[in-house]
Amino acid sequence: MADVPRRALRLLTALPTLLLMLWLGGCTALLPEPEPAPSRFDLGPWSEPAPIDADLAGVRVQSLRAASWLNVAQISYRQLHRRPEAVHHYAAHAWIAPPPEMLAVRLEQMLASDGDARERWRLEVELLSFEQVFTSSQDARATIMLRASLRERGGDDRIHQRSFIATEPVTADVDGAIEGLPKVADAALRELVAWAADVTTSR
């Protein structure tokens, strides 16, 4: 019977540790589940033939840049019917990369050549807008604005410049942004490439 007090003493000694473990386990169960990572999207595959014009083989993309607030991976939207100066982002959906990076890759695809052509023209592009715009709770559009500068390498100092805007009605939800923004991006870039072809062939 002498072992009984010893066993009781050991149990009393271990009891605080057991209670602490039970308490920590209960607290862990009460903690909220971590937020899932946002779903990632890009502009989709490019399947159209390139280049549009043979002279575009000599055009090289020098840069495609944007202001800091556009150089983020979040999908942006604006509510003109509520507070037009406020820019919002979808929490559970995002681009796979900031829009300037995705647009630069797409532009390179459109200007793709065999790599043998000598660089004759340098193209610089600035992204000015890339967002979903709500005009009411039921109506929205996808919109993009670009400004391009084209300079002939080794030529005069003349810079050819032009702005490009594309917009398209979309559904008033995140799916509208995900599906509509790549469409307007391709439309604006196609127009930009066609303009570059006109400039380079007129020289």
Label residue 2 by pLDDT band (50, 70, 90).
low
HEC-encoded secondary structure of 139-185: CEEEEEEEEEEEEECCCCCCEEEEEEEEEEEECCCHHHHHHHHHHHH
Specify the higher pLDDT residue, 22 or 144. Answer: 144
Residue percentage of the chain with pLDDT more than 90: 61
Residue 12's pLDDT band, with cuts at 50, 70 and 90, is: low
Nearest residue to 108 (alpha-carbon basis) of 193, 37, 39, 22? 193
Q: What is the pLDDT of residues 14-44, one digit of tens each?
A: 556 655 565 556 555 455 666 677 899 999 9
Q: Domain residue spans in the chain?
A: 1-31, 39-201
pLDDT, average across residues 104-133: 86
Inform me whether the pLDDT recorded for 4 exceeds 60: no
What architecture does CATH give domain 39-201?
A: 3-Layer(aba) Sandwich (3.40)
pLDDT at 133 over 90: yes
Q: How far apart are CA 91 and CA 97, in angstroms?
A: 15
- At 56, the pLDDT band (50, 70, 90 cuts) reads confident
Q: What is the β-pairing status of strands 121-134 and 159-170?
A: unpaired
